[in-house]
Chains A and B, each alone.
Chain A
Amino acid sequence: MTTEEIRAPASHATMADVRVPQERQSTLGQRIYRYRFVYLMLVPTFALLLTFNYYPAFMGLYRAFFKWDIGLQPEFLALGNFEKLFIRDDIFLKSLRHVSLLTSWRVISAVTFPFIVAELIFNLRSNVHKYTYRVLTILPAVVPGIVILLLWQFIYDGTHGLLNAFLEGVGLEDWQQPWLGSPKTALYAVTFMGFPWVGGVTVLIYLAGLQGISDEVIDSSLVDGCSGLRRIFAIDIPLILGQFKLIIVLAVIGGLQGWVAVFVMTAGGPGTASMVPGLWMYNNAFLWNKMGYASAIGMFLFVLIMCLTILNVKFVKTGDY
């Protein structure tokens, strides 16, 4: 430690800033040498990332342009896989319609029901109650996802299911059906499962935003006679757009990637009545060994998710107040 560094103004945030004047005079090589131990700190992280993340990601992009069946030599097809995907693969095109329904509902439900619950909790007067409700809403989130899926499978069960029993109880026997087993209802059953669609984590994210609104804003709105529903639309929602944006991005990604639910509940069936692209990829890869074709579907999902995320971040503007 040199005296020069010790005399540096204390207001500087990190020692990083303190050392800057010195660094201007040293060459790049010297600077790299000075921080050699920092690169050492990053070696394990990047070794793992390169092996298990970067290599597969690039391989996935690369092999999407090949006919690549396990055990055979890869054969370069250029855009052949994509041509087949969008022109000749009817099941894939159908799966796109399915996934847009699934994703739309996910977005709609994620920006409404959890937000209502967050507003209800936020406006409670007692802090003890607030805390209790926060813990209670998050509690179902720690039940393993697979358990929730299997439970919903039971709720929809044709002979023993809770939903059919409920319909019988209220005198709507005509509506009873094997919800997941009928081609007419399977997709909708998968889409609308999770009633009442209140994700605990989502509620907490909204709540965090609401708590971050400054008291001055709320007070002045009250002075101006803005309260209740009007305050929610005029103040709360514009001020927590950052949170809404995040939730929408997560819902879109979750919807496009959410094929595990379909896999567990219906395996895409009956037939292909509830097929989604992710599951179609899985089937191609692991049932039929068509790795190149499946990689093409994976690449398509990657590009789609990236475009939608960028669109959302760009065009849903975060208000600056």
Chain B
Amino acid sequence: MTVLEGQQQTIQRLPLAEGWRRAWRTGDWWRHLGLFGFLFFMFLPFIITIIISFKDIPQFDHYPFTVTFPLHPDNYLEAWRIVSRYILNSIITSGTSVVGMVILAAIAAWAFARYPFPGRELFFFGVLALLMVPGELTLIPAFLLVKDLGLLNTRWVLIAPYIAGGQVFAIFILRQFFEALPGEMFEAARIDGATELQVFRHIGIPLSQSILGVVAIMHVLSTWNDVIWPLVTLRSNELMTLTIGLYAFRTAWYTIWGPLMAGYVIASIPLIILFAFTSRLFVEGLSSGAIKM
């Protein structure tokens, strides 16, 4: 269920598993071969993107898919001039909304997990039901709502709905996690005179860092990649997020492949950096077995 348990499971079962596998199998070479095959094709588009990003137009016309010299790193400068603004916008949007979302979701999930208040299951069902509502149903009324609220073409038109919508899944995951935390610890803290708030802040939150991290990363990924909502609610180039900025960039720079591909590479870097710092969290959170039906 939890990230921690997942880790323990892996550690415990290894000696046994290693034993029987060694006993009846001579080698793993063909598995490596198969995995290499899959990975090669998974990475091929990205490798070719990087190769093309260093080409000028004649180089691309003659040798589109092989490395050509001289390299043209100036493509990156050119792309950066256009893409950097969109990246900054995406960082502001996803960053603000993830902070707001995690705080609100953690508080609500804590309430659902630890207090038997009247109406608890009803309210929780009210949150869960929203998991079933697809964006298609709400897109048009939500658009007209933010139009009436005068939010169109501001940063809030993205941030507020992202916080609202992101909570749903986060509350669902966090409630399960909070409920599984050992209750004796909180009881002990209360006996020692801790207030409800102190229990939450000094015991609950520190114990849940990993799952909060997973929920946060998933939220950043989904908001960062959103296309339709920013497309219909933002008009001005100054506010555009990366997805729609790149889309516009593609239309404007079609066939000038070098800088275009350099732009794609630059656009991928922020999330790759985020992933580099959190891969362990991410991989183990998803591998912990909590996610199934």
Check A140/B136 contact, CB under 8 A, given A16-B115, A204-B283.
no
Closest-by-CB residue of B relative to A292 is B140
A67 at the interface (CB under 8 A from B): no
Flag if B139 contacts A298 (CB, 8 Å): yes
Q: Determine whether B67 belongs to the interface, using a CB cutoff of 8 Å to chain A.
A: no
- Asked if A53 is at the interface (CB within 8 A of a chain B CB), the reply is yes
Contact of A87 with B by CB under 8 A: no
In the complex, what residues of B have CB within 8 A of residue A264's CB? 227, 247
Nearest B residue (CB) for A54: B130
Q: Is the interface of A mostly helix, strand, loop or mixed?
A: helix
Within 8 A of A (CB), among B15-34: 16-18, 20-22, 24-25, 28, 31-32, 34
Q: Which chain A residues numbered 48 to 71 have a C-beta less than 8 Å away from chain B? A: 48-49, 51-57, 59-61, 63
Known: A42-B108, A151-B264, A291-B144. A218 touches B17 (CB 8 A): yes
Please give me the residue from chain B that is nearest to A227 by CB atom: B24
Interfacial residues of chain A within 12-61, with CB under 8 A of chain B in the complex: 12-20, 23, 28, 31-32, 35, 37-39, 41-42, 44-46, 48-49, 51-57, 59-61
Chain B: interface secondary structure? helix
- A138 and B133 contact, CB distance less than 8 A: no
- A285–B140 CB distance below 8 A: yes
B134 touches A134 (CB 8 A): no
**Are A212 and B289 closer than 8 Å at their CB atoms?**
yes
Q: Does B127 contact A (CB under 8 A)?
A: yes
Q: A41-B108, A55-B145, A142-B275 are in contact. Are A204 and B38 (CB under 8 A)?
A: no
Stretch at the interface among B73-81, B160-168, B205-213: B160-168
User: B125 within 8 Å of A by Cβ?
Assistant: no
Partner of A121, one of B35, B126, B138, B187: B35
Q: Is the CB of A140 within 8 A of B46?
A: yes
Interchain CB contact (< 8 A) of A144 among B136, B184, B242:
B242
Chain A: residues with Cβ within 8 Å of the partner, total of: 121
Given A123-B31, A139-B275, A195-B41, A151 contacting B225 (CB threshold 8 A):
no
Partner of B168, one of A6, A53, A126, A142: A53
- Indicate the member of A28, A129, A260 with the most B CB atoms within 10 Å: A260
Min CB distance A96 to B, Å, is: 14
Q: Please tell me if the beta carbons of B142 and A49 are within 8 angstroms of each other in the complex.
A: no
Closest A residue, CB atoms, query B37: A196
Q: A144-B224, A309-B132 are in contact. Are A196 and B41 (CB under 8 A)?
A: yes
B175 to chain A, nearest CB (A): 12
Known: A59-B145, A142-B274, A165-B64. 20 other contacts (CB 8 A): A15-B186, A16-B114, A35-B115, A46-B126, A63-B140, A135-B283, A141-B221, A142-B272, A144-B242, A147-B264, A153-B250, A204-B283, A205-B292, A222-B20, A222-B24, A246-B291, A246-B292, A263-B227, A291-B144, A302-B133
